[in-house]
Amino acid sequence: MKLDINHDLCIGCGACAAVAPELIDMNDEQLAVVIVDIVKATDVETAKEAIECCPVDAVYEVKTEDFAA
């Protein structure tokens, strides 16, 4: 699983970073940024919670066919 953030939508509320601090952080502009390349299997449920908690749907899963070589 891979996560990404749509910075055009992100409002910097920090909910995703609070739910998944091992996956998402806030940058200097107070926008969410993904801090891992690939979500480990043990963190998939946490990643899904981060996606669900975003009030503006800025956090999303990148489908494997979107980033496969």
The pLDDT value recorded for residue 67 is: 54
Q: Is 37 exposed, middle or buried (0-12, 13-18, 19+ CB in 10 A)?
A: exposed
The pLDDT value recorded for residue 63 is: 85
Domains in the chain, CATH or no CATH each: 2-67 (3.30.70.20)
List per-residue pLDDT tens for the chain, 69 residues long: 999 999 999 999 999 999 999 999 999 999 999 999 999 999 999 999 999 999 999 999 998 765 554
Angstrom distance (rounded) from CA 42 to CA 28:
28
How many C-beta atoms lie closer than 10 Å to residue 40's C-beta?
12
pTM of the predicted structure, to 2 decimals: 0.88
The pLDDT value recorded for residue 47 is: 98
Cβ-contact 16, 59 below 8 angstroms: yes
